[in-house]
Amino acid sequence: MGVITLITLFPFYWMLRTAFSTNTALAQAPASPLPVDFSFGGFLRVFGLQSTEDALAEGGSGGSLDFWRYLANSVLVATLVTFCQVLFSAMAAYAFARLRWRGRDALFGFVLGGLMIPTVFTLLPNFVLIKEAGLVDTLPGVTLPMVFMTMPFAVFFLRQFFLNISREVEEAALIDGAGRVRVFFRLILPMSAAPVATLSILTYITAWNEYFWPLMVSYSGSSRVLTVALSVFRAQTPQTGTDWAGLMAATFVAALPMVVLFALLARRIVNSIGFSGIK
Amino acid sequence: MTVAVIKPTTVSPTASRAPGDARTALLFVAPAMLGYLVFLVWPTLRGVYLSFTSFDLLSPEKWAGLDNYRRLVNDPVFWDSLGVTLQYVVINIGVQTVVALLIAVLMHRLTRSTALRGIVLAPYLVSNVVAGIVWLWILDTQLGVGNEVVEWLGFDRIAFFGDASWAIPTIALVNVWRHVGYTALLIFAGLQSIPPTVYEAGRVDGAGEWRTFRSITLPLLRPVLSLVLIITVVGSFQVFDTVSVTTDGKPANATNVLQLYVYDLAFDRLQFGYASAISVALMLVLTAVTVVQYRLMRAGRSDLG
């Protein structure tokens, strides 16, 4: 177990140790366990706070990462995707689990059919669709398809929980004259807080880490998210060799928000990941 | 996003069958169904349709019949990349399943600590892009600390990402690092559903650790394992991110996995029709894999009645 923990955590430590070193020193002491020639240079380059001369002198590319903008884009995309996907799936799951209407089971089967479609299969045609809609390189263009690509799973996941909520509570509220909408928001959602939270967190992490789709639809800073920005930063290799200190600072800053989010909510997620196949 | 508020309709307890339900249901499923049709069902149908055309994104598509599929059958690069992808899947799934089982059993037998479960899950929080770049640095031929260790052990430095025979196994293991904790947690959830009495009975009969694992844990875990396997296999066939940020298909197509080939065909050469045909082929492969695995799973129903 010790070995597993070491292999699991070592890359995180190495990221930090490298980020606080300078490139020149890294080349001289590749195995030193502590940062070599301690410096904030890598982070300064990431945040675009270093002058071009300094950056080039320290082995940077001089190309900066417009970090705050990409961070804002990532937060916006992940938040919107999570909010819309969870809300819409919960509403649909409620109709499939608690309401009786003609065609319900057929339609639910049709939604489950979506689970059979590999996520990447729809990327190309979705790109064509977004292009026709004139939304390429815009935040809505990045966000919209991501809301629905993994929706069938979310509907299926929440329906399982809604099926188990006792009918009596709901019936009582209805007798008191509450409408279905009110029952759903005031009763069903609060009673399913745990699965809804788990689904939200997993959806958020997945959306935050998504790379393939944003890579296809964003060309410029206006809609670029962090994952794509990182690979661009990696591709801007200076003549002198890769700017490892800057690159590690960038990966660390990109990974940090999810680690913090997880640390705050860890107990809840870890204990409630049952059978969820969000990959 | 505003949610339409409708007037509450007064309903009796038997209202579940009232006509009002259909209207309400429609309101509840509308947003999800609309998005599902526009961004999943329609693109799927269109992807299949485009695979029979010579679509290039710039001009209206022309019907091409089976041309793309004929080309696919005779395309050495396609078969090559299918082979590379299979190699990746086998290594990734093999290692990941064994290690995840090991972690899950260790967690189940030895510890109740949530902190440890959190640690195991940590790599899952970073993107494939971050995982790829970090390991690219650790395993760098000149400066990577991994190669310092290799040298210290008395071997020659290894170009993990630059050598044709090392690159795919390396990428497969990077993705194991990222996903194994998540997989272990899924298996762990399955382990918790095995009643302790079964283990007690095993102990009374004098079964050791290994025997217990082989004769009790594995057979009872079968349904869970099958499900986890289906998810991970389908996921690993679609590998793209890690390859894209580390080797980008090099050296000489040695890491040209299917998705990378599809991306290259579509966005570098604008052959959307042919790229769609390859996507359809991959979808068929995955459907077949899922069906076969599902059959095996049905055959191996758990003995927990």
pLDDT digits (tens, 9 = 90+) for B168-212: 999 999 999 999 999 998 898 888 888 888 888 888 888 888 888
Work out the pLDDT band at B7, boundaries 50, 70, 90: very low
Q: Cβ-count burial of B223 within 10 angstroms (0-12 exposed, 13-18 middle, 19+ buried)? A: middle
**Is B245 in a helix, a strand, or coil?**
helix
User: Rounded distance, CA A219 to CA A229, Å?
Assistant: 10
Exposed e or buried b for every residue in B183-203, given b needs 16+ CB within 10 A? Answer: bbbbbbbbbeebeeeeeeebe
What pLDDT is attached to residue A77?
A: 97
CB–CB of B135 and A11 under 8 A? yes
Work out the pLDDT band at A239, boundaries 50, 70, 90: low
Q: What is the distance of C-alpha B216 from the center of its chain?
A: 28
Task: Tell me which H or E stretch contains B170.
Answer: helix B164-191
Please check whether residue B256 is in contact with residue B249, taking contact to mean a CB–CB distance below 8 angstroms. yes
What pLDDT is attached to residue B2?
A: 42
Percentage of residues of chain B with pLDDT beyond 90: 60
Torsions phi, psi for A34 (to 5 deg): -105, 160
- Residue A272 above 80 pLDDT? no
Render pLDDT for A187-238 as a digit per residue (tens, 0 to 9).
Answer: 999 988 888 988 998 899 999 999 999 999 998 888 999 999 999 888 877 6
User: Rounded distance, CA B240 to CA B229, Å?
Assistant: 19
What pLDDT is attached to residue B14?
A: 44
Q: Which residues of B touch A169 (CB under 8 A)?
A: none
CB–CB of A120 and B279 under 8 A? yes
Helix axes A2-19, B76-110, angle to 10 degrees: 120
Q: Which residues of A touch B142 (CB under 8 A)?
A: 27, 30
Min Cα separation A149/chain B (Å): 6
In this structure, how many other beta carbons lie within 10 angstroms of the beta carbon of residue A179?
18
More confident residue, B84 or B141: B84
Short-list B284, B287, B266, CA closest to B275: B266
Work out the pLDDT band at A56, boundaries 50, 70, 90: low
What is the rounded average pLDDT of the residues B164-169?
95
Min Cα separation A213/chain B (Å): 10
Q: Cβ-count burial of B57 within 10 angstroms (0-12 exposed, 13-18 middle, 19+ buried)? A: middle
User: Rounded distance, CA A4 to CA B103, Å?
Assistant: 8
Maximum distance among all Cα pairs of chain A, rounded to whole angstroms:
77
Of B133, B224, B238, the CB nearest to A251: B133
Of A104, A216, A258, the CB nearest to B126: A258
Q: Share the mean pLDDT of chain A.
A: 86
What is the four-CA torsion angle of B225, B227, B232, B238, rounded to 10 degrees?
160
For residue A178, give the chain B residue with the closest CA. B8
User: Rounded distance, CA A111 to CA B34, Å?
Assistant: 11
Q: Does A26 touch chain B (CB under 8 A)?
A: yes
What is the rounded average pLDDT of the residues B238-262?
94
Short-list B91, B289, B286, CA closest to B176: B91
Q: Which residues of B touch A105 (CB under 8 A)?
A: none
Q: What is the distance of C-alpha B37 from the center of its chain?
A: 24
**Does the N-terminal peptide bond of residue A257 adopt cis geometry, omega within 30 degrees of 0?**
no
Please check whether residue B104 is in contact with residue B187, taking contact to mean a CB–CB distance below 8 angstroms. yes
Of A1, A118, A148, the CB nearest to B39: A148
Helix axes A67-98, A151-163, angle to 10 degrees: 50
What pLDDT is attached to residue A276?
A: 40
User: Rounded distance, CA A238 to CA B119, Å?
Assistant: 35
CB–CB of B31 and A275 under 8 A? no
Short-list B81, B79, B108, B275, CA closest to B189: B108
- Residue A127 above 70 pLDDT? yes
- Residue B114 above 80 pLDDT? no
Short-list B120, B127, B129, CA closest to B183: B120
Of B9, B25, B111, the CB nearest to A99: B25
Structure tokens at B77: 């690069």
What pLDDT is attached to residue B240?
A: 96
The residue assigned the tokens 């640095």 is B137
- Residue B15 above 70 pLDDT? no
What pLDDT is attached to residue B11?
A: 42
Please check whether residue A62 is in contact with residue A55, taking contact to mean a CB–CB distance below 8 angstroms. yes
How many residues belong to chain B? 305
CB–CB of B6 and A120 under 8 A? no
User: Rounded distance, CA B98 to CA A4, Å?
Assistant: 13
Q: What angle do CA B126, B127, B131 make, to 5 degrees?
A: 80
Short-list A4, A2, A15, CA closest to A259: A15
More confident residue, B241 or A265: B241
Render pLDDT for B29-44 as a digit per residue (tens, 0 to 9).
Answer: 999 999 999 999 999 9
- Residue A16 above 80 pLDDT? yes
**Does the N-terminal peptide bond of residue B251 adopt cis geometry, omega within 30 degrees of 0?**
yes
What is the four-CA torsion angle of A176, A182, A186, A191, rounded to 10 degrees?
90
Handedness of CA B135, B139, B144, B148 (dihedral sign): positive
Q: What is the 3-state secondary structure (H, E, C) of A96-117?
A: HHHCCCCCHHHHHHHHHHHHHC
Q: Which of residues 38-77 of A touch B (CB under 8 A)?
A: none
Structure tokens at B295: 């059959």
Which of the given ranges, A52-56, A159-163, B298-302, has the highest pLDDT on average?
A159-163
Q: Which of residues 127-166 of A touch B (CB under 8 A)?
A: 127-129, 131, 144-145, 147-149, 151-152, 155
User: Rounded distance, CA B83 to CA B121, Å?
Assistant: 31
Render pLDDT for A67-123 as a digit per residue (tens, 0 to 9).
Answer: 889 999 999 999 999 999 999 999 999 999 999 899 999 999 999 999 889 888 999
In this structure, how many other beta carbons lie within 10 angstroms of the beta carbon of residue A194?
12
Q: Which of residues 237-276 of A touch B (CB under 8 A)?
A: 244, 247-248, 251, 254-255, 258-259, 262-263, 266-267, 269-271, 273-276
What is the rounded average pLDDT of the residues B240-250?
93
- Residue B51 above 90 pLDDT? yes
Please check whether residue B54 is in contact with residue B61, taking contact to mean a CB–CB distance below 8 angstroms. yes
What pLDDT is attached to residue A140?
A: 96
What pLDDT is attached to residue A2?
A: 81
Q: What is the DSSP letter of A120?
A: G
Please check whether residue B241 is in contact with residue B128, taking contact to mean a CB–CB distance below 8 angstroms. yes
Min Cα separation A49/chain B (Å): 22
Min Cα separation A64/chain B (Å): 18
CB–CB of B185 and A270 under 8 A? yes
Short-list A154, A133, A277, A136, CA closest to A213: A136
User: Rounded distance, CA A37 to CA A23, Å?
Assistant: 9
What pLDDT is attached to residue A261?
A: 87
Structure tokens at A247: 């690159």
